């Protein structure tokens, strides 16, 4: 009986930590429903939009609970900021099947919400450093949300009809890079920090917002997206070459 007690206590501590994370994720439903509710009310969207938003949030919450580390207490203050950003991004992601919102007022609403989500990207890192709560999980959560944000913006640009379906490629490089790592393990090696990579992410987001801008001539959206895709591809190519040389 004695060896069982420590394991039971460990399971209890892990369960309590996970329980706190569950509570924090449940609290995240409040801002999610506020943003989604305002969006639905403002643009007279069907109840299916709200349901879709909740389903996408539930899927994200499931992934978070699967990967949240057992150490620490709950998600932590930095991840609360990232979770708040996620409620903005997910409420916009649920708009992809709702092309009726893609009118001038809808464009400005999407641009406003996504701009806030992008600006807050620098807040969670500062909070993590100031509170001493930086973790690998938090960095991964932030990075995956950034990738998903770009994919959502690219999909919305495509649905707007301003650019062809190829613009979705602007939201796929990170996912293609990860998929390539499954085939070539040397591509899974860690990359050194580079300002170029962070600047590319910012340029990518700004370019997609420009493509959605009602005051931007429709004929300008495709060249802006194409140029950004070339620059993004070049940045990823530099990283691939670096990894290849390091592997050798």
Structure confidence at residue 7 (pLDDT): 46
Q: Are the CB atoms for 222 and 164 separated by under 8 Å? A: yes
Mean pLDDT of 114-127: 89
Mean pLDDT of 56-85: 87
4-35 confidence digits (pLDDT tens) = 344 444 444 444 556 788 888 999 999 999 99
Give just the sign of the alpha carbon dihedral 128, 201, 221, 45: negative
Indicate the CATH number for domain 4-247.
Answer: 1.20.120
Helix (H) / strand (E) element for 132: namely none
| Mean of pLDDT over the chain | 88
Angle at 115 between CA 109 and CA 121, to 5 degrees: 145
pTM (whole model) above 0.95: no
219-233 confidence digits (pLDDT tens) = 899 999 999 999 999
Does the structure show a pLDDT above 90 at 62?
A: yes
């Amino acid at each position: 009986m004695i060896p069982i007690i420590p394991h039971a206590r460990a399971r209890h501590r892990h369960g309590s930590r996970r329980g706190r994370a569950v509570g924090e994720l449940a609290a995240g439903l409040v801002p999610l429903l506020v943003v989604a509710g305002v969006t639905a009310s403002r643009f007279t969207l069907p109840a299916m939009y709200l349901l879709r938003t909740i389903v996408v949030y539930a899927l994200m919450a499931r992934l978070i609970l699967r990967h949240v580390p057992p150490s620490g207490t709950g998600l932590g203050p930095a991840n609360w900021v990232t979770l708040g950003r996620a409620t903005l991004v997910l409420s916009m992601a649920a708009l992809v099947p709702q092309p009726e919102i893609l009118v001038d007022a809808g464009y400005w609403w999407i641009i406003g919400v996504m701009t806030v989500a992008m600006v807050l990207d620098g807040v969670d890192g500062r909070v993590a450093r100031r509170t001493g709560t930086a973790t690998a999980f938090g960095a991964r959560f932030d990075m995956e949300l950034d990738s998903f944000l770009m994919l959502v913006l690219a999909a919305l640009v495509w649905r707007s009809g301003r650019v062809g379906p190829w613009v979705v490629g602007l939201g796929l490089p990170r996912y293609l890079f990860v998929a390539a790592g499954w085939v070539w393990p040397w591509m899974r090696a860690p990359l050194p920090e580079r300002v170029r990579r962070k600047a590319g992410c910012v340029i990518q987001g700004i370019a997609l917002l420009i493509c959605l801008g009602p005051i931007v001539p429709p004929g300008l959206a495709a060249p802006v997206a194409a140029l950004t895709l070339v620059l993004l591809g070049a940045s990823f190519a530099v990283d691939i070459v670096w990894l290849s040389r390091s592997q050798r």
